[in-house]
Structure 1
Amino acid sequence: MTEKSKAKRKQPARKVKAGAQPQERTVTIPFPDTDSEDEANRILARDVPGWEKLDKDERAELLRLIRDHRKRGAPAKVKMTRKPDGGWSIEPTGKSEMLALLKLHETFSANSIDPVNARANELLKYLGSVGADNEGRYNAALSFIESMKPQDQAEALLLVQMYCTHDAAIRALSQLGSAEWIPTAQTLGNLATKLLGTSQRQMETLARMRRGGEQVVKHIHVDNRGGQAVIAENVNQGGGTAKNEDQCHGAGITGSGPAMLGHDAQGHGVPIPSRERAEAVPYARRDEPRRA
């Protein structure tokens, strides 16, 4: 007698609709509004899943991170809606439209809506050109700009450029790894190198703008005999490049120069003249006849 095994019916695989966004996992972070460690731990023990599995150090670190996260505040966020005729509609999102709009003004250091719209469209055009025009990437760009806290609209404009330049450099590097032909790899490598150099210069420009054109020039005089270095620090206003020929005490290109006249490496100092009359120096030649 043979047993007939029933074949299991295979369940058809679920088809994912094209363009459907994956479900996001939401994590709610509690914010204990108290300075008491015991009270804060009691609130976290109630609201944090898996709190009982953490040891003492992990609980203290979690509490510190939560407080630091609260001090930073929530960045500006927008909601993107596809228009029927093409393009995107960008609107502030959150419980309060006024609060969200003011956050956008602060992100771009703007006092009106016009520069906010200008910078927002610049970001949208770039992300759309590389196929990354979605809420996640757009809000990531806003978070970067907000974290740098631009002090004026010039810095906000530069920060938009910095984000786009960095993203373009990373894209060139990622395509470089999958390049099959040497000319293609060389082209992508040169492009990535130029973009990374531009990104570095943009960071230097931002730092120079925040310094206000103040430049610190250090002149180092090295005495090779004594083995000591004297550092003189000068502050030049204007942010230009100081030239050695314009500085009377410049150390030269190599950073070392001749020792000062009268310097004694043994530390005896320069002799001081006295009032006594100096002895006559004997005449070097003698009156003796020379030998042939």
Structure 2
Amino acid sequence: MNTAPDLNLPTATAATDPTKAAATPRIKLSSHGFSIDHPDPELGEQLLANALGVADRDAMHGILRQLVKASVNGPKPDEVNLAFMISMVKSIRPRDSIEAMLVAQMVSVHLMAMRCAYHLANAEDIGQQDSAGRALGRLARTFPAQIDALNRYRSHGEPAITVQNVSVGDGGKAIVGNVTQHASVIVSDKGPVSAAPAARMAAKRKAQA
């Protein structure tokens, strides 16, 4: 008999986990709040936790409440906006709570930027145009900064290491040019050159001295 996954376990489960392949449940909004639309409440919570990249029920409800509030269209939250935001979070695949919070901010900033773009397109006077344009500009600059922050966090903030001076013994090989190493990848702007000719030349000078 199949049992629902434990919400206290990390979400980094194997790809064969059936909850990973299942569709993310939708959220129903009401005057009293929201609910997860799934026939099995516990499994529905696990599927949503997986989509949001969080490890437990409290974190899932916290992120979800924030997305609900950010989805507001006019005076109340919007189910279409919310479904879009959850889908975007799922597609980015946050892997822990830090990424979950950052990705939730990213989709919220995108939604607000598009809202500002709408207001800019429908501005009725210069004041509205300037206000919407400034807000859109700030949000548009924030979004790529968030992408950069997510990329840095996922790479553990490893800086590139440039090696310019290399000592090579007899019979070895040297790489001529700058070598940049990042995330265990070495890239050279030129190919390898044998160190043997240089070693023979040094030996010849020593014999002539």
Q: The TM-score by the shorter chain falls in which range?
A: 0.5 to 0.7
TM-score, length basis structure 1: 0.48
Greater RCO, 1 or 2 (C-alpha within 8 Å, sep 6+) = 2
Distance 2:69 2:127 in 1: 29
Query: After the TM superposition, which parts of structure 1 deviate over 3 Å for at least 4 consecutive aligned residues?
Result: 129-132, 217-220, 234-237, 269-276
Larger radius of gyration: 1
Query: Which residue is equivalent to 1:230?
Result: 177
Q: Which amino acid aligns with 1:189?
A: G
Say which of 20, 37, 60 aligns to 1:93. Answer: 37
Query: Which residue is equivalent to 1:121?
Result: 65
- 1:109 deviates by 2.8
CA contact (8 A) 1:76 1:107 kept: no
Query: Which residue is equivalent to 1:79?
Result: 28
- 1:272 deviates by 4.9
Change (3 A) 1:275 1:148: closer
Unaligned stretches of 5+ residues in structure 2: 1-19, 165-175, 185-200
Identity %: 21
Query: Which residue is equivalent to 2:109?
Result: 165
Residue-pair matches, total: 162
Unaligned stretches of 5+ residues in structure 1: 1-70, 221-228, 238-268, 277-292
Query: Which residue is equivalent to 1:196?
Result: 140
Let me know the Cα RMSD of the aligned residues. Answer: 3.0
Query: Which residue is equivalent to 1:140?
Result: 84
- 1:274 deviates by 7.5
Distance 1:236 1:272 in 2: 42
Distance 1:80 1:207 in 2: 33
- 1:176 deviates by 1.1
CA contact (8 A) 1:76 1:139 kept: no
Q: Which amino acid aligns with 1:81?
A: S
CA contact (8 A) 1:78 1:139 kept: yes
TM-score, length basis structure 2: 0.65
Distance 1:219 1:167 in 2: 43
Map Cα deviations across residues 191-247 of structure 1 (whole Å, 9 max, x no partner).
Answer: 111101111111111111111111335689xxxxxxxx934213499xxxxxxxxxx
Distance 2:90 2:74 in 1: 23
CA contact (8 A) 1:77 1:100 kept: no
SS in structure 1 opposite 2:180? strand
Change (3 A) 1:100 1:140: same
